[in-house]
Structure 1
């Protein structure tokens, strides 16, 4: 199994934060996975491409980065079944599928990260989620040293959530995902920004529009280190929404199936007066308040402190506590934002 000691992680996270792991492992075969039994008896973290990870200390836990690659396609009369290794890049998968005439993921174009991280977070954008096309997830269970196949239902997908962040957290490792795409594809254009496209827009048209929108709103992490959307869009009760609406008539809102209301975290942050706010080399981005950017080689702790400040300001103004999408990793493993003092 590919491994390294005292491995520098600065190039392995999109915040470009320096942190060193005592041991770095990259399993790429089933025998490699079995060898991990001697690794997981101390704090560890399963890392994809680091696009949703913030290392908050100079030392990190043991890092395991799945190295499983490959894409296979099986076709039936009415659908395509695509199996993808966890180490494949998500955006490249979107492009590949469209090139093969397989449509459905175009709304999820340009989301950074690996395929294996997609079910953990149940990534979503522009009216589509990973769960919409997931058939099953191939998962290696540490305790039994065996491979399991978890159905879409067993994955317990929710808004930016899954069983891999809950009951199965750190109990195994994703090897691959299997997706199913109906051939009777129809473009999903209801989300703002896509509704300007004609009803007959192709999947390529949709993908290009999504890429253009994301590129106009979100800074390139290669230029300004960031992890994209730092906070989840909060979901509130209809009653709380109506109360807020009295004071904020222009507040964006998105009704949910259960009658709750999703609000725009970026709008809340901007209205709290934080857009463009900078502290210790970390900025609430001047174009998109939902993004925190590392402008001056700040530490993970500095970024966490600003995130906590944003959370506090929004809570004081709107009575809503924003929850991070980003995961905070210390030497002892994953930690919560609430553990950081301003």
Structure 2
């Protein structure tokens, strides 16, 4: 542990529940105020809220309604926030997008300042063989996951506007993620920056950048060689690829698939039900599913998994119909937002942190707007910016 101490677990829980309730109240109020002022609700939001309602009903039938309230407020806030951003962009795109842009830049700036302050005051935790910074989230992996939507948003607006300031801030967010010592998300963040550069550059510059990728990899290895991120990778390699973090994830999977019943698979455990179920099976408290697909299957059942894949398929079809090879920003926001799900969420599942789902909701709202808006959206943004 560094000079700064982690909050007491009970205090952290109370603070988090208070914020979740306040966030839901604010988002719900804002949603009601704009309900009749914009376009209809997107089907993704309808599907999210439908799944949340279904899983909450399962919790009620299992006698665990009180324990499900926190998850209900979190996920309902996420769905309503996505709808609020989407509807605002559809009704007043250029003006709202300036507010969205400022949200990403201001939030990122203060996050970088906070971690810089933590670095100089030595406020960190020593976990899984390395020094790891946790910020206001209280969890290194939660902080890293919460930073990814900000990174995607900054790179998206860099590609869209051409302003170098967004790229500089994005590099600052990569540094924040690196300071958490989270291997999978750090690797994913570096890949995101590489992909953004490939999309942003044109003609011979793009080909030169791709050909120079091996040199960039060597430079990254040299720069990261003395970091705790590299130390954790080395410890993983020395232990044969299975450290404490990896082995515990394997233990979660083995426990679930060895003890779950058919009815629990079909109907799910209900919102927040995985924690209590895992405690009953192993005696270990406060364990999250750690994998998004495991979270969906365990708490939402087959119904939730089916809605998830059908919604994803519908979005892919929409993108294939909408895609324009000349619109680099649309390609980036779709691919990067999709990778957020299929990449690190499978090993992080950070929906338990409101610091993650709020910026991610804004990002998803932007994506839905781009998939639904006219081809004039890019020109209007450039003029207003």
Normalized against structure 1, the TM-score is what?
Answer: 0.22
Normalized against structure 2, the TM-score is what?
Answer: 0.21
Higher strand share: 1
Higher helix share: 2
**Relative contact order: is structure 1 or structure 2 higher (C-alpha 8 Å, sep ≥ 6)?**
2
